[in-house]
Chains A and B, each alone.
Chain A
Amino acid sequence: MTNALDVSDLHVTIAGSHVLQGVSISVPVGGVTALLGRNGVGKTTTLRALLGLIPSTGAITVMGTDVHGWMTHRIVRLGVGYVPEDRDVFAGLTVEENLRLAEQTAEPRYDDVYSIFPELRDRSRQRAGTLSGGQQQMVSIARALLNGWPLLLVDEPSKGLAPRLVSELADALERVAQLATVLLVEQNLAVVKRLAQRIVVLDHGEVVHTGDASELDDPDLAKRFLGVTGVK
């Protein structure tokens, strides 16, 4: 069966520094694949390069279609939703306008969105800039979810959220993962262990480990690649 996403030998150079040095990742259809690694190893860069937001060399195949060199909007329309780091909601637009902008299909799935994030229905007239971080994250995920895209790229959704909100977010992401294949960048290992089936570990712009999420229980691996100790 075709993978949801295949990346091979991806290289990116930003302002003279070689940020990605031949990254290869395969994401099978269904479930959550987590992209892990310390800060600054190139996880966000990988996602941005996949979407054509920054120039790269290498091969990128989305659901069997070679998309390398395509314009971002064409890649997205192939069926890729993007939840960026720092959420990037349009602060000056209302929640409703943020969602309306994301509509790309004739029948946007507001039912799915509102069943996972009922709060957004009540806040549709509110400016996104006045929402809390957690609410902004809902808007950001909702935008990616609205078109029923088969593949979602989710970048550090728990960043900057209070612990209570993080578990709520994990609940929501669990339901999202039933609707689409997810490539998740996440620092919070508890969230990763709860959601992910597969892990890919990046270090210094290269993939240093690919495996099963259960390996995260091995404290040695966590320490070696992620610089964290004592994950419960």
Chain B
Amino acid sequence: MIVFLALTFSGIALGAIYFLAASGLSLIYGLMDILNFAHGLFMTLGAYAAWDVASHLPASWGTPLLFTIAVFASVVGGALSAGLTEVFIIRPLYGRPISQILVTIGLDLAVVGLLLGGFGSNSLSVPVPLWLIEASHLGGLNLPNSDFVALIAGVVVLVSLEWFLRKTRYGITIRAGVENRDMVSALGINVGRAFTLVFVIGGAMAGLAGLLYAVVFSGDLISPTQGDSLLIFAFIVVVIGGLGSIRGSAVAALAVGLVQDYTNFYLGSHPGMAEIGNLSVVLLLALVLEWRPRGLFGSTL
């Protein structure tokens, strides 16, 4: 039972990171019909921005402060790279949806290639405070502190995103645009600005996801290709949740995180089943699509 609870907790933490990665992807698809293959790149660039800033500041500032700055850097790095991508790469291709998908694929390859050339394929280490590596004792359970951080980040982002989408004019514009882009511009609103905005927001969340994934699941190490492997799961979460739906992404992210964690632990130790966690996630996708081809939450926000 204790094992099961601990597994559930780490599955939720994994789900929180998937949510950060997937919700921006879902918004971008919902508003612009773009399957953004560069989203994994935004995650990677967020993590590298965090590493770059943290490793160039004086170590005497102490890891807690450095890590806080690194978190900000990941958000800014992700947002900036996504915003520039939208303005310079995506915008010239409005009205050519397939080209927009293709161009994000090319961008991802090119920049990951550049990172491989610049930093090598070896992983780099992000400085983190000691308590982040430790675990907390909670009712007989040993829960990693980093999982708490992921969980809190996921909840904070979910709540603020919901608030933004419901209460602000920009948020309402995005929700309306997901339903009917043409009608939004027929009300006199510049939809192009909303496009840039969803990229910036999505990129910010992706950058944070990139850093947290490194901290929580790969021992504070970042590598040029980490975003690409995370991207596949983000895609699966988006499709299961329903393209364009934030709540759908949240529910699907939890489901995927838990399924992956449970199957990995209970079945993954058998010979020849090391990848069962990943496989079961794909199976989950196939099942959901057979049952509901539009995903769990259809196409409304």
Contacts and interface: CB of A to CB of B under 8 A. Distances in A.
Interface of A: 51, 53, 71-73, 76-77, 82, 84, 88, 90-93, 97-98, 100-102, 104, 143, 147
A90 B180 contact: yes
Interface in B191-206: 191-192
Contact of A72 (B169, B173, B185): B185
Chain B contact residues: helix, strand, loop or mixed: helix
Contact of A143 (B175, B180, B187, B301): B187
A143 B169 CA distance: 15
Given A72-B186, A76-B187, A91 B172 contact: no
B55 interface: no
B191 A73 contact: yes
B300 interface: yes
B260 to A, nearest CB: 31
B19 to A, nearest CB: 20
Interface in B143-202: 169, 172-173, 175-176, 179-180, 182-192
A87 to B, nearest CB: 10
A76 B185 contact: yes
A102 B175 contact: no
A104 B169 CA distance: 12
Given A73-B188, A90-B179, A91-B300, 10 more contacts: A53-B182, A72-B185, A88-B180, A92-B175, A97-B172, A97-B176, A101-B169, A101-B176, A104-B188, A104-B189
Contacts of A82: 186-187
**Interface size for chain B: under 10, 10 to 19, 20 to 34, or 35 or more residues?**
20 to 34
Nearest to B180: A88
Contacts of B190: 71, 73
A92 B300 contact: yes
B161 to A, nearest CB: 15
Q: Which 7 A-B pairs have the closest CB atoms?
A: A76-B188, A72-B185, A104-B188, A90-B176, A82-B186, A92-B300, A88-B183
A98 B169 CA distance: 11
A148 B301 CA distance: 30
Contact of A101 (B173, B192, B301): B173
Contacts of A97: 172, 176
A101 B184 CA distance: 8
Given A90-B180, A91-B300, A101 B186 contact: no
A91 B184 CA distance: 13
Contacts of A53: 182, 185-186
Contacts of A77: 188
Nearest to A52: B185
A93 B186 CA distance: 16
Contacts of B185: 53, 71-73, 76
